[in-house]
Structure 1
Amino acid sequence: MRKSIAVPLGVAAVGLAGLGYAAGVEVNLYRLRRFELPVLDPGSAPVKILQVSDIHMVPGQRRKHAWLRSLAELEPDLVVNTGDNLSHPDAVGPVLDALEPLLRVPGVFVFGSNDYYRAKKLNPTKYLRRGDISHAPKHERAQNDWHELQAGLEKHGWLALNNARGAVQLRSGGPGSGTGDGGGRRIAFVGLDDPHVQRDRYESVAGGPDIDAEVTIGVTHAPYLRALDAMAADGLPVILAGHTHGGQLCVPFYGALVTNCDIDTARAKGLHTHTAPNDRTSYLHVSAGCGTSRFAPARFACPPEASLLTLVPRR
């Protein structure tokens, strides 16, 4: 009798310990991942891109706030923010303050559904069954002050890419110098609004790479296959996305169980490729992000992250 009781108690203890680690430890183990993408012309100097994603800020998250500010020490040439900055209606100010040192660097951004709509309680079994499929909100939802967030980012020169094309000039004075004269290198972007809530309209931005830029990069929050197919088919050599949280609660030595979209779990995070139906292939980087919904504040075998992506000459 004692043995039969001890086994389930032991399993429960291990489960509680794992939950405590996921919610109290790993969720704060911020890390930087580094990748090289050989997409520039031979002889070109490298370009350092810092990608931040899925911040899901809640007021009072001091560790996350300090870590985000410290990323400016990397001196990136530009910053790409792939959305879901908010997880609380009062988080616009804290997000802008956390990003303030990076706002001195040229940057671009797209929004995710959590930037537009206030976070709500989740049913975790839904994700384990089938994920949260792409759909527009079925009912009117309370919104965050995303206009204030967008204005705060644009005030510092960051470029909004929600169903938009654009380009930035890298500052010739050097990374983060703030003294560039506009004579720097030109990097172009094709961006989508969030496919997760069906705000994407690729037909409005289609047209292939910008021939006057060194490279054209596709940016979207959620890496749904329709978005990846459209960008790759259009000849964009690089696509950057977030949204998946890398699976968030993963199995050690196995990886993600879900992606919260229709991309396969093998590409839930990190650098991979994507081939469109017309056989054109792009590099695809999916960030696991550095936050979680405030209603599911745990990570397991999937630490919060940002990525430093260095574009280098083609080999």
Structure 2
Amino acid sequence: MELLLLIEMAAPFVADLQSRWPLARHTPQRVGEVRIAITNGSTGLSAQQMDALPSLQLVCCYGAGYENVDLPAAHARGIAVTHAPGVNNASVADHAMALMLSSARALPLLDRAVKQGKWLSHRAARPAIHSKRLGIVGMGNIGALIARRAEGFDMEIAYHARHARPDAAYRYVNNLPELARDSDYLILACPGGAATRHMVNKEVLEALGPQGFLINIARGSVVDTAALIEALLQKRIAGAALDVIENEPAIPADATQLDTLILTPHISGRSPEAQQAQHDALLYNIRACLEGRPLRHVLTLN
């Protein structure tokens, strides 16, 4: 039996897998012996790849995302697909708040300026977040955790999602441009995939306006990157902070020239605690598959 690892993973976790089972990285030596593939939402697994692995029984998504796994193809072939929802929710919500604060207060820019001896020339006023209007796109578990944290800053919170959540104590806005127009800060915490691709487009950015900030800890595909870069270059929004970006790790050339754009390398969920919980979820489902026991967090077709 071989595990097929299709994604990058921290070295200690790779070593742990190798100590337990035969492991192939990226390309299996014996395709007929691969029973379990390990991927994530960004890398996914296509129907064609599944067909190249005739003994495949299980696809484990390392983390919550699964948008690029062909679920219908997996179900048609009798291949189970699991993920690990919730293990890094708190870490992602923390990172969203860090990005919002960093963007509002221009922390990377000010850090560089002070280190370059430009203390006095950079002591301009910067926007606060307390008592400001926060729009959250997506009110799932992560969106709800972001809202709870924002309450501590006395922010006025509203949200947009496919449907209103009866248990959410915040104002629901059915129209995304309207939410953007009513927000000083717009945080994206929605799923990726075809349904949300370029949801944040030129219209939404125009609605957010020259005093508004965009924060994305969702998926890079949710934002029309070209429209965002143009809006930043033309100062039609105040700033953006992104943990994810289309075509990552490649970034647009103009991004390096923008002091109003903060980028982090898709690490919002990578706290040590979250990574260990994610790995434990993976180990459980591998063992369960091999021992014929029920799997946890199996994805089904809606």
TM-score band, normalised by shorter chain: 0.3 to 0.5
Using structure 2 for the length normalisation, give the TM-score.
Answer: 0.33
Using structure 1 for the length normalisation, give the TM-score.
Answer: 0.32
Structure with greater helix share of residues: 2
Structure with greater strand share of residues: 1
Larger radius of gyration: 2
